[in-house]
């Protein structure tokens, strides 16, 4: 390429003005990039998959269930975990495997003589979610207005049709992992102004930084322009 006195290249400024201009611009972009993307990398590299308490309960019971050695108490705790997953996510609640598994485990908890009534109740729930399910909540050791208890009518499926295939059963551990394990670190667990720190940094601080960066750039560049007599003709 033929050399020219008018070549412009942000990385190879020629005049004193373009040199200082390039330094300012590249510094601003470096701060911006590190603040935005650098922090997310830091978040990524510092995180550890951290299970909720419910996941530990699930893991402890899951192996025993498959071997048929789970106790009533363990089953009860497991049903509560399944209901809590169902209760916090509409998507999880729409998962047929989760619903059937919860229905079948609850069936096992119901005393023999009350099982026909339980089956009838689950059938009725298909059409009416307002039916009283408080005895099931009580059986699980939950209060009526407990949020987990409120998930009962929206989770159970007609018990007489709740047949779980092997493939559906295999879905359960993946589902529990998906909803009960989270990427946490000191950055997410530290509180700042009530926020988890990383949330504050991204949703509040970065925006403040952007405004400050832009404001500083305007101030600095106007001083530089004044010094080098740029834009003076504009008044």
Partner 1 sequence: MIKSILNKLFFSAMLLAFSASSVYAASGVKLEGGFKVGPAIILICILCVFIGVGLFNQAKDTQDYWAAGRKISRVGSGMAIASNWMSAASFLGMAAIMYGSGYHGLSYVVGWTGGYVLLLVLMAAQIRRFGKYTAPDFIGDRFYSMTLRAVAAVVAIFISFCYCVGQFGGIGLMFKWILGINYVWAVLIGASVVLTYTLISGMLGVTKNMQIQYVIIIISFMIPLFIMTFKFDYFWLLPQIGYGKVVSDVVAGVSNSGFLNSFGHNYAIIATPEFAMPWDAATGKTFFQWMATCFALMVGTAGLPHVIQRFYVVPKTSDARWSVVWGLFFICLLYWSAPVYSAFGKILSSSPAVGSLAKDAIVVYTAQLGSLHPLIVGFLAAGAISAAFSTVSGLLVAGASAFSHDLYFKVINPQASAQTQMRMARLGTILMAVGVALVAMLKLALIAQLVAVAFSLAGCTIFPLFLLGIWWSGSNRQGATAGLWTGVAISLFSITYFVASKFGVMLPGYEFVNYWVNPWYFAWIGAPVAILVNIVVSLFTEPTPEDIKKFLATQVHGG
64-103 positions binding partner 1, by CB under 8 A:
84, 87-90, 92-93
Tokens of residue 133, six digits = 């399910």
Nearest-angstrom CA–CA distance, 182 and 188: 10
Nearest Cα neighbor of 210 from 43, 33, 10, 41 is: 33
Applying CB under 8 A, which of residues 115, 182, 223, 227 lies at the interface with partner 1? 182
Of 69 and 227, which has the nearer Cβ to partner 1? 227
Minimum Å gap between C-beta 28 and partner 1 is: 5
Q: Is 128 near partner 1 (CB under 8 A)?
A: no
Q: Is 207 near partner 1 (CB under 8 A)?
A: yes
* Residues 102, 83 contacting (CB under 8 angstroms): yes
* Residues 184, 46 contacting (CB under 8 angstroms): no
Which phi and psi (to 5°) does residue 146 adopt? -65, 140
Minimum Å gap between C-beta 112 and partner 1 is: 29
The residue range among 27-35, 66-74, 99-107, 112-120 that interacts with partner 1, by the rule CB under 8 A, is 27-35
The residue range among 7-15, 55-63, 132-140, 161-169 that interacts with partner 1, by the rule CB under 8 A, is 7-15
* Residues 151, 86 contacting (CB under 8 angstroms): yes
The residue range among 21-29, 61-69, 101-109, 164-172 that interacts with partner 1, by the rule CB under 8 A, is 21-29
Of 161 and 192, which has the nearer Cβ to partner 1? 192
What is the number of other CB atoms lying within 10 angstroms of the CB of residue 106? 24
């Amino acid at each position: 390429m033929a050399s020219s006195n008018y070549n412009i290249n942000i990385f190879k400024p020629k005049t004193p003005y373009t040199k200082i201009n390039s330094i300012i611009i590249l510094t601003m972009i470096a701060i911006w990039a590190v603040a935005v993307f650098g922090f997310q990398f830091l978040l990524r590299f510092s995180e550890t998959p951290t299970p909720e308490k419910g996941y530990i309960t699930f893991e402890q019971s899951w192996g025993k269930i498959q071997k048929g050695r789970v106790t009533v108490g363990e089953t009860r705790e497991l049903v509560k975990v399944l209901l809590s997953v169902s209760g916090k996510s509409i998507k999880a609640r729409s998962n047929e495997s989760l619903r059937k598994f919860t229905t079948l485990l609850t069936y096992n908890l119901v005393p023999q003589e009350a099982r026909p009534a339980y089956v009838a109740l689950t059938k009725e729930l298909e059409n009416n979610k307002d039916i009283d399910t408080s005895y099931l909540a009580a059986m699980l050791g939950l209060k009526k207005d407990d949020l987990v208890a409120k998930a009962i009518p929206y989770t159970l499926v007609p018990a007489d049709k709740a047949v779980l295939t092997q493939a559906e059963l295999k879905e359960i551990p993946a589902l529990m992992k998906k909803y009960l394990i989270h990427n946490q670190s000191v950055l997410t667990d530290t509180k700042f102004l009530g926020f988890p720190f990383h949330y504050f940094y991204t949703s509040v601080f970065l925006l403040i930084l952007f405004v400050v960066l832009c404001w500083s750039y305007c101030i600095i560049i106007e001083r530089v322009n004044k010094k080098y007599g740029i834009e003076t003709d504009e008044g």
